[in-house]
Structure 1
Amino acid sequence: MKSKTNYLPNKPPHALHPMKTQVIHSRAQDTAMNRLLAVLILMLHAAMLPAHAAPPVERIEVDFSREVGRIKAIHGVNGGPVSNGENPDLSGWFKEAGFATVRTHDCHWPCPDVIDIHTIFPLDHLDPEDPKNYTFAKTDAYIAGILKTGAKVVFRLGESIETKGTRYHINPPKDMDKFARVCVNVMRHYNEGWANGRRYNIEYWEIWNEPDNRSMWTGTMEEYFTLYETVARAIKSHNPKMKVGGPALAGDLTKKGWALPFLALCRDRKLPLDFFSFHGYTVDVVQRSREARKLLDEYGFAKTEAHLNEFRYTKTWQGLRPGDPEKYVHVPAWFEDGTGGIAAAHAIAVLIELQDVVDMTNYYTADTSPWSMFGQFGIRRPVFYAYKAFNELATRPRKATVSVQINGGTPSRVLAGIAEDNQSAAVLLSTRNSHAGMRAIKLAGVPWSGETHVEALLVDDTHALTKTPASVDSGAKSITVDLPPHVVCLIRLSKATAPNSQGK
């Protein structure tokens, strides 16, 4: 893009001010006035000449010829697309975003009628081996809705959160063995066709959610450990190929929390632990994830997967549940913060930084609860478009080498990949907490000959993965894009199909 250069009219200085005023003055005053006028003209010239471009705040180099493994499709969510009543069906949006996994926790919350054990086996005094004592129909529809979008299911065995009042369902089972038998039969229904069931081969089975949260578990740590051991052994005894895990911890992963005793239990009693799950909201989830991976390695679980299966951009819990009804008016804004532009940049930064740390993440949520990236009415928020951008990158899974040089501040998080057929590539950036300014992106090793089509797209509170200006050199070896902080930028690269088709 070329800037226009404006020049002053070719007229004598007095023509700039046609009004004439007769003034009696000395020759010295006349000389001083002429000098002042000359200075003003020079200053005006300087102001109207094109400004020199400021140096870029970041220099990013992407070398597609140097591959460094594969991009992990870790962009999962909580909650499925099929909702209650007149709420919208989100299946089309799920397919667009290509969510890798859907974790089934707090489904149809706050009035769950699917997934939770009490909704499937409502009368716990009955015989768990009799199919007539199960009510699978609603959960069947819910699971089918998830699988139709192409996502994998992580089936949470347990109950949804109960934040207030009587704790109806989050108490320790009276009979742990019977509860385990119910869990095995739920697995049989969805994987083996038991009780007029399905053969979905759902692989991941998570035992409870946040037992270290009093809104999720009224029992002790030892009671949860007994539950975990009983259910994990029962599932593995029935089918060793299934992956079992937990405990989906909400609290501290250091000596203050449940993580160390839980890992010690699994190690010492040789319990199955195919994945270790934990959550992160107001904490630094990247650091928390690294701590989890380190603990697993230290306790002898190097092959155990790490799942950050609840996370969300959350500045503070204050304002979520105000005691004063007059303050309820502010609650919608609290929820919107977790799915807006800054949240989108946060989510992509997490997905990029955790590529070599975790095996799965699940944003909370993608249903029609107020927590959702679609809200309660199926309206796509910036976090959705950020996930859609990440999915575009994940379809180009051969990871390229990236380096970022900054002129101070926090660097952008950058990830780049190449398609399997070598016909396209992409670069994804999150400027979370970074400075505003130009990003100079140098490209090397693009895996095709000829011209390159370039397209830059932006996600923030006013851009829904829509085009943003980018300057491209004649050979598409360098791209310059001006970005504010807290945005997501996807740069698409592909072999041009016609001459002079590169984007600008």
Structure 2
Amino acid sequence: MKKVNFLVGTILAILFLLCSTKAFAQKQINIDFAAEVDTIKNFLGGNKGPGSYGTYLNELGMRYLRTHDYHGAADYCFYSSFWNTDESGNFTTINPSFDPDNPLHYDWTETDNQLMQIISGGFEIYFRIGVSYPNPMYPMATYEPPVDSYLDTLSFSRFAELCRRTVMHYNDGWDDGYYYDIKYFELWNEPGGIFWEGSAVQYCRMFQAVSDSIKSFDPSIKIGGPGAVPTTTIGLHPEYREGFIRFLDSTDTDIDFYSWHIYGAKNPFCLKEYADTIRTLLDISGFIDAEIHITEVNHNLDSTLDSFVPSPLGAAYYLSLVLTAQKSPVDLFLWYPCAAFSVGDILYTPSANSMIAFHLMQEETPIIVHSTGEEVIEGHFDTDTTNFMVLAAKSEDENKLYILVSNYHSDNVDYEVNITNLPWGFADSIEVRRNLIVDTLNFAEFVDTISGGDSLTIFQPDMAAPSVLFLRLQKLSPTNVRENIADVIDVVDVFPNPFNSA
């Protein structure tokens, strides 16, 4: 396949149009290089892992790994003797002899090994205190509330001390422990679902006891929850959203972050509405400094992912989720599972590559600049999936400009990208790289070198939804400048786009 490019300055754009035999209406995307808006969040992570995926997850930009669904490691009933067990190792009844202050009542081995793997992989630990999803292949955890006794179902002092000792073991060396400086401890996972057989009142009382206990040891630790089940996230079961936040307010209980889950969203932009609602609820109750964490998110968890993930549709969907979170009051964004973007032995799927592109922007061009062209909706997310999103960002030295365009669902096909207020002169040479995710290409890269200027116009045809465009402009140093004549000939001679067989 011939290596060709359609990235042009103002003069080349005129040649481009004169040589075209196809008339089309371009989607206008305007970028103002000088208008700084925000910075890209370093907020991505995942659940489980890293296993053998360490390097891969780093490439995807995952910073945090949440300790959920190891089915043993990081599950409190496995590393403590809080519960009695049967001959098969299944957890049965509360152990009245459990003493949370006694090191002999803990077995940290499996959890130590798992957390060490997270740390050695270069990740930060996001510690979920609770239990994993029920899986008959493993000893079965209990989902009953960890109360002090069956006669006192609203007291959680022993469990609260267990949580405090967990923090001490991993942050302060207690019981031959570590000094990991773990920042986030999330209390439980999806109360209101299968993980919690108690009431909302019991969860609130447990959270209060645990928060007070951990804060008494280290006030800087961030405590949050509840890892809300998706029906709570969307407001159908408010007892773990509005009710939980009201309880915290009325009892003067600290919460450092509210965490929630979302699966099956038809329109990625719904994340902003849910995040905005939670932000408002927290602010009204005075928790203005509390963070918002999405601790589980995916398109779904069934076998359809096998075809969705390795497709342009999946790439655009997942990228639009992240771009929505970027512009929403979301502080952490954790995929479930961490290896969500691989299918079998295939790691670098279109969906994975769209995440790699975002991570490159976060690392190399962290300063967001003003852009236009976005097409999103508010409300009616189940019936209207319109979604076209743009993110533009520059490097701190202003030698790079990266642009991501996620076309999940729109009528846009051909783009005209107008960039103004560039700090580059006509004597500068600009390398332009395009990575395309379309029906026939998975992150295919095409490179051109053009003349600089204070404004540039770049045309990109044939980007019908679903698709992803990753556009990178970099001012070259004199030693890296390449000849431009051959590239000009390519632009004139090969239009329309040769990468589509039609």
What TM-score bracket applies, with the shorter chain setting the length? 0.7 to 0.9
CA separation in 1, counterparts of 2:163 and 2:306?
33
Q: Aligned residue for 2:144?
A: 171
Q: Aligned residue for 1:421?
A: 397
Is 1:261 matched with 2:232?
Answer: no
Determine which of 189, 193, 197 is the counterpart of 2:169: 189
Equivalent residue runs for 1:240-251 within 5 Å? 240-250=219-229, 251=231
Determine which of 154, 158, 171 is the counterpart of 2:130: 158
Q: Aligned residue for 2:371?
A: 402
Is 1:53 matched with 2:23?
Answer: yes
Asked whether the 8 Å contact 1:366–1:374 carries over to 2, the reply is no
Q: Kindly provide the amino acid, as one letter, of the partner of residue 285 in structure 2.
A: Y
Determine which of 13, 16, 31 is the counterpart of 1:62: 31
Unaligned residue ranges in structure 2 (runs of 5+): 7-18, 84-94, 149-155, 378-384, 492-502
CA separation in 2, counterparts of 1:461 and 1:92?
28
CA separation in 2, counterparts of 1:339 and 1:365?
16
User: SS state of the match for residue 354, structure 1?
Assistant: helix
Is 1:133 matched with 2:133?
Answer: no
User: SS state of the match for residue 323, structure 2?
Assistant: helix
Cα deviation code 1:181-233 (max 9, x no counterpart): 111111111111112221111100000010011x1111111111111111111
Cα deviation code 1:394-429 (max 9, x no counterpart): 1111111111177x9946211111122333221111
Asked whether the 8 Å contact 1:472–1:478 carries over to 2, the reply is no
- 1:378–1:217: structure 2 CA closer, same or farther, 3 Å change rule? farther
Determine which of 155, 180, 183 is the counterpart of 1:200: 180
Indicate the percent of aligned positions where both proteins have the same amino acid: 26
Asked whether the 8 Å contact 1:154–1:202 carries over to 2, the reply is yes
Instruction: Give RMSD over aligned pairs.
Output: 3.0
Q: Aligned residue for 2:321?
A: 350
Unaligned residue ranges in structure 1 (runs of 5+): 4-48, 83-88, 321-331
Asked whether the 8 Å contact 1:422–1:448 carries over to 2, the reply is no
Q: Kindly provide the amino acid, as one letter, of the partner of residue 389 in structure 1.
A: A
Cα deviation code 1:152-175 (max 9, x no counterpart): 221100011227899732211132
Q: Kindly provide the amino acid, as one letter, of the partner of residue 159 in structure 2.
A: F
Q: Kindly provide the amino acid, as one letter, of the partner of residue 301 in structure 1.
A: F
- 1:52–1:343: structure 2 CA closer, same or farther, 3 Å change rule? closer
Shift of 1:256: 3.9
Cα deviation code 1:251-300 (max 9, x no counterpart): 23537422111010011111111100111112433322222222222222
Is 1:457 matched with 2:430?
Answer: no
Using structure 1 for the length normalisation, give the TM-score: 0.77
Aligned residues: 428
Q: Aligned residue for 1:120?
A: 79
Asked whether the 8 Å contact 2:129–2:163 carries over to 1, the reply is yes
Is 1:92 matched with 2:55?
Answer: yes
Q: Kindly provide the amino acid, as one letter, of the partner of residue 116 in structure 2.
A: A
Which protein has the larger Cα radius of gyration, Structure 1 or Structure 2? 1
CA separation in 1, counterparts of 2:386 and 2:452?
30
Q: Aligned residue for 1:384?
A: 352
Asked whether the 8 Å contact 1:459–1:465 carries over to 2, the reply is yes
- 1:241–1:488: structure 2 CA closer, same or farther, 3 Å change rule? same
- 1:177–1:97: structure 2 CA closer, same or farther, 3 Å change rule? same
Cα deviation code 1:1-35 (max 9, x no counterpart): 799xxxxxxxxxxxxxxxxxxxxxxxxxxxxxxxx
Asked whether the 8 Å contact 1:471–1:480 carries over to 2, the reply is no
Asked whether the 8 Å contact 1:473–1:479 carries over to 2, the reply is no
- 1:489–1:141: structure 2 CA closer, same or farther, 3 Å change rule? farther
CA separation in 1, counterparts of 2:38 and 2:103?
47
Asked whether the 8 Å contact 1:66–1:400 carries over to 2, the reply is yes
Asked whether the 8 Å contact 1:100–1:152 carries over to 2, the reply is yes
Q: Aligned residue for 1:227?
A: 206
User: SS state of the match for residue 285, structure 1?
Assistant: helix
User: SS state of the match for residue 198, structure 2?
Assistant: coil
CA separation in 1, counterparts of 2:474 and 2:171?
41
Q: Kindly provide the amino acid, as one letter, of the partner of residue 260 in structure 1.
A: E
Is 1:412 matched with 2:388?
Answer: yes
CA separation in 2, counterparts of 1:222 and 1:228?
10
Q: Aligned residue for 1:288?
A: 274
Asked whether the 8 Å contact 1:382–1:461 carries over to 2, the reply is no
Shift of 1:341: 3.3
- 1:139–1:460: structure 2 CA closer, same or farther, 3 Å change rule? farther
Shift of 1:500: 3.9
CA separation in 2, counterparts of 1:249 and 1:67?
35
Asked whether the 8 Å contact 1:404–1:411 carries over to 2, the reply is no
Q: Kindly provide the amino acid, as one letter, of the partner of residue 113 in structure 1.
A: G
Cα deviation code 1:330-352 (max 9, x no counterpart): xx335543564323212211221
CA separation in 2, counterparts of 1:402 and 1:98?
23
Asked whether the 8 Å contact 1:313–1:338 carries over to 2, the reply is no
User: SS state of the match for residue 299, structure 2?
Assistant: coil
